[in-house]
């Protein structure tokens, strides 16, 4: 069976995804409540790649170190991307395998490498872009000799450029790929809001947990998610997944609640995905919605979602006017780091962009079905 050398690259999120700033680090994009995108990748390579190399920006270094503390028996060799070219050449030269995996961390996927490597038969002099279920992903397999040859050929481009990962993936690998290689696995999220909403809810038993159970078990073998959640006497949870460090004093139905979320008494969350850090005050109702993370250290008050807020409508199939292919089927989307004042209403199919100024919420009061609220440019 073939072994692989693994190289990971932080490239930021796709600019096509509403709700997420372009500079949001892809490797810490949360998924399935307790996990992050990089957890899925290292789990795929657990026991197959000895010490993966991860190229990232200086400002993300400490965050990566903290994530590594959660892993059992896995260590990443962290490299600042500004020093990437010479480091990559030297690493590839010293690598044990004749084949190299190069992957962006800005996607959530699981690769079944155990089965794949048993029948591995790719040309050693090729560059192969990977796909899962015939959908291209931001990953490549390269023959070691071919990759070193290309790195030498494009040396001046790397030396003159200021974005190492972009040059590698867009100018070197993509333009020199030989063909696609379809590999077994599961693509959970790349650049689709609809995909993000639906596939997060796979972890709820009634929506397909049995289908993803083997992946979930492997994640738990690798990632330590020991923190507990707290359901108070007033809290009620029905057919939902509640991550660690969550407090529920309200009602949660058919929903996925991520880490560090609090839901106050008499608040109700139905058919929704509420990501990290959101704090929802009493008597608010959130239905058929996706709330991106709230990551600011200090909220204006104790809650970033105020009292009597209404977001979404589980009976609607409205599409957003500005992003009809992304925000569709009635899903309401609240972007990263928003503070929504009391009694605000965001109807079905509506979209609130990241970091919207508080005064715009107060001026608007009701965000109509399918409409968008964003900062003035």
What is this structure's pTM? 0.93
**3-class DSSP assignment, residue 312:** coil
**What whole-number distance in Å separates Cα of residue 344 and Cα of residue 349?**
15
- Cβ atoms of 373 and 355 closer than 8 Å: no
CA 252 to CA 256: how far, in whole Å?
A: 9
- Name residue 305's beta-bridge partners: 280, 340
Nearby residues of 99 by Cβ (< 8 Å), 6 or more positions away: 2, 4, 5, 120, 122, 124, 141, 142, 143, 144
Length of the chain in terms of residues written: 377
What pLDDT is stored for residue 299 in this prediction? 59
CB-neighbour burial class of residue 106 (10 A; exposed 0-12, middle 13-18, buried 19+): buried
Tokens of 363: 């001026």
Q: Which of 33, 29, 30 is nearest to 242 (CA)?
A: 33
CA distance 293 to 291: 7
**244, two tokens:** 């660690």
Of the candidates 9, 27, 2, 18, which has an alpha carbon nearest to the alpha carbon of residue 108? 27
- Give CA–CA dist 101/135, Å, rounded: 18
- Pairing mode of beta strands 236-238, 251-253: parallel
Residues of the chain predicted below pLDDT 50: 1
Tokens of 341: 């004042």
What is the distance of C-alpha 39 from the center of its chain? 10
Q: Check: CB of residue 370 under 8 Å from CB of residue 364.
A: no
Q: Domains plus CATH for the chain?
A: 5-189 (3.90.550.10), 227-373 (2.160.10.10)
Q: What is the pLDDT of residue 1?
A: 43
Q: How far apart are the C-alpha atoms of 234 and 67, rounded to whole Å?
A: 33
């Amino acid at each position: 069976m073939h072994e692989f050398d693994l190289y990971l690259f932080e490239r930021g999120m796709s600019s096509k995804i509403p709700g997420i700033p372009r500079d949001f680090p892809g490797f810490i994009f949360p998924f399935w409540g307790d996990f992050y995108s990089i957890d899925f990748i290292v789990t795929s390579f657990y026991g197959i790649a000895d010490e993966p190399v991860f190229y990232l920006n200086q400002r993300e270094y400490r965050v990566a170190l903290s994530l590594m503390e959660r892993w059992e028996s896995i260590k990443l060799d962290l490299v600042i991307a500004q020093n990437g070219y010479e480091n990559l050449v030297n690493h590839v030269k010293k690598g044990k395998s004749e084949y190299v995996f190069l992957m962006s961390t800005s996607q959530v996927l699981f690769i079944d490498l155990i089965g794949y490597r048993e029948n591995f038969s790719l040309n050693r002099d090729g560059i192969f872009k990977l796909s899962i279920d015939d959908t291209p992903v931001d990953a490549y397999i390269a023959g070691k000799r071919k990759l070193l040859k290309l790195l030498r050929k494009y040396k001046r481009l790397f030396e003159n450029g200021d974005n190492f990962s972009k040059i590698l993936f867009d100018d070197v690998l993509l333009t020199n790929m030989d063909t696609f290689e379809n590999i077994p696995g599961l693509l959970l999220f790349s650049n689709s809001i609809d995909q993000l909403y639906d596939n997060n809810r796979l972890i709820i038993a009634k929506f397909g947990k049995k289908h993803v159970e083997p992946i979930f078990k492997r994640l738990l073998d690798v990632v330590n998610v020991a923190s507990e959640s707290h359901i108070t006497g007033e809290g009620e949870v029905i057919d939902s997944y509640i991550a660690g460090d969550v407090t529920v004093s309200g009602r949660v139905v058919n929903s996925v609640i991520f880490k560090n979320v609090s839901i106050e008494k008499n608040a109700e969350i139905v058919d929704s995905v509420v990501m990290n850090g959101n704090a929802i005050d009493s008597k608010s109702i959130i239905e058929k919605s996706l709330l991106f993370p709230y990551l600011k250290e200090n909220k204006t008050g104790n809650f970033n979602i105020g009292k009597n807020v209404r977001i979404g409508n589980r009976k609607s199939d409205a599409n957003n006017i500005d992003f009809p292919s992304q925000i569709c089927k009635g899903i309401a989307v609240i972007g990263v780091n928003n503070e929504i004042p009391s009694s605000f209403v965001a109807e079905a199919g509506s979209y609130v962009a990241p970091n919207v100024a508080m005064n715009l919420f107060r001026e608007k009061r009701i965000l109509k079905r399918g409409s968008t609220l964003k900062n003035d440019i």
